[in-house]
Structure 1
Amino acid sequence: MTNSPSKFSHRLSQPIEQRYVNYTYDQPGSLPGTLQIKADALPSQIVLIDYNETEAVRVSVAAAKDCAAYLDTESISWIDVQGLGEETFWRQIGEVFELHPVVLEDVVNVPQRPKSEDYGEQLVVVLHMIMMVSEQAQFFHEQVSFILGKNYLLTVQEEPQHDCFGPIRDRIRFKKGTIRQRKADYLLYALLDAIIDGFFPVLERYGERIEALEAQVTDAPTPQTLTEIHQIKRELLALRRSIWPQREAISVLLRDDCTLISPAVKVYLRDCYEHVIQVLDMLETYRELASSLMDVYLSAVSNRMNEIVKILTIISTIFIPLTFIAGIYGMNFNPEASSFNMPELNWYWGYPAVWCLMIAVATSLVYFFWRRGWFTAR
């Protein structure tokens, strides 16, 4: 089954703030465990990977009840549910895996705030997965829920087409590394680490956008540049609100004494936690750069305005004495009435003399401004 292009395009066209941080909430007075499945939710399909140290099998499971046979085996079972489907399906999942109604609510009513909760025989982890869409300046976002049991891991994705778990599937299939020698808690770590590492390409893309904006701000700032700065600041804030709780969710796995996670795997989770810190450091750096771009933009616009004012001032200053001279000779005095009434009007070279005077004044002012460095770009 493939994802509907129209629905996927619709999700990408939504404002980034809505796709990242508008968490779902229950209606006031609703019963615990009330499922609110979106009308455009894709049909559910179950992909099960059962493996041990010697072999690995991948099967498509038709119904939720068929998963029950894999829950009590010694092999590790990764049950990947792709698509949120219908309420009936999830009620069957809840019965097979003996899920608390509140857990079903967190898994189905998306998006939820990232978190980790220990239910004794099960460990529930909710994270957000953000991926860069190939050859597009857009990002895909979905909630991924993990339910860890003794020998199984149940994962829930909103759609079947996009995830960052391909390398993990290949490691299981081709027996790369030690993943097939480990328990289900190590599989949980591997998937969590894949999600966290998926943030780095997204942040690198934001770094490229900020670098391009820096060039625009310093060379030729426009109102569109200001709009892009505001947009990238909003997007980075939304990313921060999505990533920050995931730091807390992984920290809970390290602090709590959950029997489902072995001390050996907690060592790997510490490395995963450090990756989250690196992501947050990069994010905070880009947020500071985006904020500083606003100051640079205002400074560039101010400098540009100062240059314009300087040019206009130079032109006005040059023409002020010329206007003064032209104004004097525009007065209607009769030279015949008195020898003091503009006698130069009767001179043979009077008109060229005034032109020479005006040119000399203008040239002197231009030379004076040049010596003061007013014509040098700053």
Structure 2
Amino acid sequence: MPLADVDVIRRRFSIGLSTDRVDFILYLYNEYSYEEKYFQSVYELLNLLTNELENDKKSKTRYYWIEVINCSRVDFPKGIKILCEYFNIHPLTMEDIATLTPYMKLNLFHDNCSIYLLMKILTWNGHRVQQQQISFYLNCSQNLLITFQEKSFDNIEPFFQNIRNRLRRQQQQQQNNEESSQSPQHHRLRQFNVDYLFYCLLDDIVDRYMLVMEEIANRISQFDAILMADVRSRTLTTLHSINSLT
């Protein structure tokens, strides 16, 4: 499917552009190279993408992960709309990205070999469960993965930091001509298609689920011991606090 023209999109959105901040982080990689670029202007991102995609037709294929982080108070800033239109993302999918929902969603688009997945990231902040919505758009025909999320919680490590470190670490190993016991795993992430990166990100989210479930199970075990030893009114207060964890 052809990409939309950047200049056409710019003219359409040039009137009344919002200053709502959106961060775009672009990861370009394959077995032989790795680049990481940061943008706050969607047009700078799209101009670079247009050039890179054209170059890929003449050289070795590279894979693209675009991390979109909405730092504004607007549900669907224009910068995200522009990016979606550039890649011809379906309007209903754009609506799903903009809508907060308690439910997961999966859409398959067979005409352009793409997948849209909406799910929740769960984290434990030391006192209660925090959740944040994340959307994935995977297009295998374009070697493209886009993740859409809100700004990460201030008191926890940014989401997917271990995945980024794996991508970076292999590049450092190549530059230093060094090998380590973990290098085969890093090679898998850079050698395989972008759908393997998609799998790794989902695996990271599931790992977070398990950590949250383990913490809740520990809290329940502690409360069970208290309940058996103390049936006074303060037990009800503890029960209420556990019930409000989520």
Q: TM-score, normalised by structure 1?
A: 0.47
Q: Deviations over 1:233-283 (max 9, x none)?
A: 565xx6xxxxxxxxxxxxxxxxxxxxxxxxxxxxxxxxxxxxxxxxxxxxx
Counterpart for residue 169 of structure 2: 174
The alpha-carbon distance between structure 1 residues 76 and 112, as it changes in their structure 2 partners (threshold 3 A), is farther
Counterpart for residue 123 of structure 1: 115
2:39 to 43, 46, 61: 61
Larger Rg, first or second structure (1 or 2)? 1
TM alignment of 1:215-234, pairs within 5 A: 215-230=225-240, 232-233=242-243
The alpha-carbon distance between structure 1 residues 48 and 112, as it changes in their structure 2 partners (threshold 3 A), is farther
Counterpart for residue 186 of structure 1: 196
Counterpart for residue 210 of structure 1: 220
Larger relative contact order (CA 8 Å, sep ≥ 6): 2
The alpha-carbon distance between structure 1 residues 215 and 160, as it changes in their structure 2 partners (threshold 3 A), is closer
Counterpart for residue 21 of structure 2: 43
Counterpart for residue 76 of structure 1: 63
Task: State the distance in 2 between where 1:92 and 1:64 align.
Answer: 7
2:78 to 66, 82, 88: 88
Q: CA-atom RMSD, angstroms?
A: 2.2
1:160 Cα deviation after fit: 4.0
Contact 2:34 2:168 in 1 (8 A): yes
Task: State the distance in 1 between where 2:53 and 2:137 align.
Answer: 12
1:227 Cα deviation after fit: 4.0
One-letter identity of the residue aligned with 1:194: D
1:189 Cα deviation after fit: 0.4
Contact 2:22 2:40 in 1 (8 A): no
1:199 Cα deviation after fit: 1.1
- Greater strand share, 1 or 2? 2
Contact 1:46 1:81 in 2 (8 A): yes
- 1:108 equivalenced with 2:118 (yes/no): no
The alpha-carbon distance between structure 1 residues 163 and 115, as it changes in their structure 2 partners (threshold 3 A), is farther
Task: State the distance in 1 between where 2:131 and 2:234 align.
Answer: 27
2:134 to 136, 144, 158: 144
Contact 1:84 1:157 in 2 (8 A): no
Task: State the distance in 2 between where 1:163 and 1:221 align.
Answer: 41
The alpha-carbon distance between structure 1 residues 119 and 163, as it changes in their structure 2 partners (threshold 3 A), is farther
Counterpart for residue 195 of structure 1: 205
Which residues of structure 1 form unaligned runs of 5+? 1-41, 239-378
One-letter identity of the residue aligned with 1:127: M
Contact 1:132 1:140 in 2 (8 A): yes
Contact 1:71 1:77 in 2 (8 A): no
The alpha-carbon distance between structure 1 residues 71 and 159, as it changes in their structure 2 partners (threshold 3 A), is farther
- Greater helix share, 1 or 2? 1
For this pair of structures, how many residues does the alignment match?
A: 193
Counterpart for residue 347 of structure 1: none
Q: Deviations over 1:87-122 (max 9, x none)?
A: 322221221121111111111212351121012322
Contact 2:152 2:159 in 1 (8 A): no
One-letter identity of the residue aligned with 1:172: L
Contact 1:164 1:198 in 2 (8 A): no
Contact 1:71 1:152 in 2 (8 A): no
One-letter identity of the residue aligned with 2:163: I
1:209 Cα deviation after fit: 1.0
The alpha-carbon distance between structure 1 residues 163 and 130, as it changes in their structure 2 partners (threshold 3 A), is farther
Counterpart for residue 148 of structure 2: 156
1:207 Cα deviation after fit: 1.6
Q: TM-score, normalised by structure 2?
A: 0.71
Contact 2:22 2:80 in 1 (8 A): no
Counterpart for residue 97 of structure 1: 87
1:131 Cα deviation after fit: 1.1
